[in-house]
Amino acid sequence: MGINFDYANEEAIDKIGVLTSHDTSLGEDSGWTRSVIQKIKNDILNSPQTKAASSSFDRGDYDSDELAAWDWYQDNVVDQDHWKQLVKDYNADVTNPDHVDPADYDPEHQYIPKDDGAIAPPETSTYSGSNNPNHELAVSTEALNFMAGQLDQIVGDGTGMLFDARNTLNAIAMKPGGFAKAEILRQKIDGVNATDAGLRGDSMGLMLAVHEALYAVKTGLRQMARDYDNAEDFNSMTADQLGESMGSAWGKIGNIGDYGQGSGSTAGGN
């Protein structure tokens, strides 16, 4: 499944690299602009005013640099006219032969650092709370909050091990040299243009989709725990209430199935 460049979605923004370029221009660490944007988006999503205004959040909660980053994002990335120009510039750049001419292969150079693929596992623990010994409760809010806390170790607000793995994958530069078959393999992995993300782009999209699904599950669990704590009867949650708490999570989980469906293409169309 290729990246949709019709509007400013996260996959397309990452492919173009506009947030990373903005970080560099500000002298900030890579990922700073994304973290600010994600934080404000989550603030808007959880705001009680969201139903009245899709962009409502308390600007007093953010410093001037964060507000400037958000306003820049709205005016220069989300704005449709600016977005179309970003995509046009990106497509012109990736199809320019001067930018894709492979360098000579150097057998003495280690192009990609050796990595055994190991990851640092998150710090999780075993639930040791109440196990509903009297069988009076349908769900334990303690257990719901514990599960959400475990997911905190994996998915944060624009951070987490999936984001780290995604950034690592995005940073790899494939340089096949002058071998035709190796260049075809590179195109299959890297993609050839804005409509074909290749295996790398598809994998990055999958990582983002899994992150969003787990984040939505975490948010939904905490919402259910709050609803239960505020309910007179702990077991009174209706199907509609469950849908309100977890509906976003079900949708995000369903989106995962959109990935891994394509076979990639090459500049020759195969």
Number of separate domains in the chain: 2
Q: How many Å apart are CA 187 and CA 95, to the nearest integer? A: 12
Q: Do the beta carbons of residue 189 and residue 199 sit within 8 Å?
A: yes
Domain boundary, last residue among 83, 101, 119:
101
pTM score, whole prediction:
0.50
d(CA 78, CA 72): 9
Among 207, 81, 229, 223, which Cα is nearest to 154's? 207
198: closest CA among 257, 265, 250, 246? 265
112 and 96, same domain (yes or no): no
Residue in the structure block whose two tokens are 């975490």: 218
Same domain, 55 and 117: no
Looking at the structure, tell me whether residues 146 and 256 fall in a common domain. Answer: yes
Tokens describing residue 259 = 């990935």
Structural domain of 260: 102-270
Residues 42, 53: one domain?
A: yes
The residues, ordered by sequence, that sit 6+ positions from 16 with a Cβ below 8 Å of its Cβ are: 86, 87, 90
The residue behind tokens 């369903």 is: 254
Last residue of a domain, one of 101, 119, 146: 101
Question: Are both 67 and 31 inside the same structural domain?
Answer: yes
Token pair for 11: 């996959």
Whether residue 145 is found in the same domain as residue 86: no
Query: Are both 185 and 87 inside the same structural domain?
Result: no
Q: Which two tokens stand for residue 44?
A: 């808007």
Domain boundary among 101, 119, 139: 101
Assess whether 139 and 270 both reside in one domain: yes
State how far the alpha carbon of 269 is from the alpha carbons of 80, 187, 202, in Å.
29, 11, 18
Same-domain pairing of 137 and 232:
yes
pLDDT in 10s for each residue of the chain, 270 residues: 567 888 889 888 988 889 999 999 999 998 999 999 999 988 888 766 544 444 678 888 899 999 999 999 999 999 999 999 998 888 877 665 555 566 778 888 877 766 666 667 777 787 776 666 666 655 677 888 888 889 988 888 888 888 888 888 888 777 776 677 888 888 888 887 766 778 888 888 899 999 999 999 998 888 888 877 655 555 566 677 777 778 788 888 888 888 877 665 555 444
Asked if residue 9 and residue 78 are part of one domain, the reply reads: yes
Bridge partners of 193?
196
* Residues 91, 159 share a domain: no
**Kind and range of the H or E run holding 154:** none
Calculate the CA 130 to chain-centre distance: 34
pLDDT of residue 111: 73
Residues 96 and 106 in one domain: no
